[in-house]
């Protein structure tokens, strides 16, 4: 998330009541998850296992639960609960309405048809010549390009599936990002595309999604990607252009799938994949899979 106006370390420290380690006027431009951070961002860390990764990431402000040596050119915010205070910063700068407020700041392009049963949140932009079918739900801050088709029952911009467990209960990291649907995308029935926690979940230009597909938070789908029914893609994945994903594929979080890759039906993806064709419960090159099957049959 990028703040509408740059902030200072002092101002953020006052919002969350944290101790600051750095100049009062140290610039703060936004917040982001560790996967997405840029210079000027705040990233939070609350476990020693991840201190080094956060401190040496692109983020220049680290919200942390212990005083540590601050790398040159960075600043720290020391908090007794960085997860809680990350939520506090994000909700301070982002209006959370969850369909409770009256419609406002919605832009709809010429030639777009939206069925009267569709539900649209706040600060939504929909381009020209789109077709929004019955019972579609479009969450706050969603951006939809031109010539987009969204079929019945699809939900854009649900909350990210991102929790911690504390005192025996699950505590949500509040999602303040959005969903971006680029031009000429088609999305089938009953798909669910979660908004980013602090950034955007993106469906690239010309991509086509079948029915009943789940796309996790902050995932970026490239251009002209084809995804078949019942595929589940976890958060923070990057899918290259011209990838084909057949039915019931499951993908773990934070993975990168190279441009032009083909994932055959029911593939389980647990690692980054180079361009190729993959099959099997743990993705392997299709030709290797076939050779293995032949060898197994020959053992009988």
* Catalytic annotation, residues: 217
Write down the H helix ranges in the chain. Answer: 9-16, 51-55, 82-93, 286-298
CA count, 13 A, side-chain hemisphere, 84: 11
Q: Look at residues 225, 220, 266 and name the one whose alpha carbon lies nearest to residue 243.
A: 225
SS3 96: coil
Alpha-carbon distance 94 to 224, whole Å? 32
Rounded CA-CA distance 146/126 in Å is 7
**What region does 272 belong to: left with phi over 0, alpha with psi -120 to 50, or beta?**
beta
CA distances to 45, 46, 69 from 52, in Å: 10, 11, 11
Q: How far is CA 249 from CA 234, 236, 263, 280, 293, in A?
A: 11, 16, 7, 10, 20
Return the biggest CA–CA distance within the chain. 73
189 φψ region: left (φ > 0), alpha (ψ -120 to 50), beta (else): beta
Q: Which two tokens stand for residue 73?
A: 């050119």
**Which tokens go with 150?**
């969204």
Backbone φ and ψ of 26, nearest 5°: -60, 125
Tokens standing for residue 33: 């998850």
């Amino acid at each position: 998330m990028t703040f509408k106006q740059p902030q200072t370390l002092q101002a953020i420290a006052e919002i969350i009541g944290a101790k600051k380690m750095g100049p009062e006027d140290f610039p703060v431009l936004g917040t982001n998850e560790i996967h997405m951070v840029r210079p000027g961002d705040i990233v939070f860390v609350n476990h020693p296992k991840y201190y080094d990764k956060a401190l040496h990431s692109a983020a220049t402000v680290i919200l942390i639960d212990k005083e540590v040596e601050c790398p040159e050119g960075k600043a720290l915010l020391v908090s007794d609960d960085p997860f809680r205070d990350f939520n506090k910063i994000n909700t301070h700068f982002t209006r959370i309405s969850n369909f409770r407020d009256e419609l406002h700041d919605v832009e709809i392009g010429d030639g777009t048809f939206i069925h009267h049963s569709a539900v649209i949140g706040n600060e939504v932009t929909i381009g020209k010549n789109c077709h929004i079918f019955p019972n579609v739900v479009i969450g706050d801050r969603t951006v939809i390009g031109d010539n987009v088709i969204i079929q019945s029952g699809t939900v854009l911009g649900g909350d990210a599936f991102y929790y911690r467990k504390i005192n025996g209960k699950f505590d949500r990291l509040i999602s303040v990002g959005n969903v971006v649907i680029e031009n000429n995308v088609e999305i089938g029935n009953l798909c669910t595309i979660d908004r980013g926690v602090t950034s955007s979940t993106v469906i690239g230009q010309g991509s086509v999604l079948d029915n009943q597909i789940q796309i996790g938070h902050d995932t970026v789908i490239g251009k002209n990607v084809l995804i078949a029914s019942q595929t589940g893609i976890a958060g923070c994945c990057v899918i290259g252009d011209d990838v084909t994903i057949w039915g019931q594929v499951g993908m773990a979080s934070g993975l990168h799938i190279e441009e032009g890759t083909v994932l055959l039906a029911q593939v389980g993806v647990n690692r980054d994949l180079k361009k190729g064709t993959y099959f099997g419960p743990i993705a392997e090159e299709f030709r290797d899979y076939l050779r293995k099957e032949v060898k197994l049959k020959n053992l009988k």
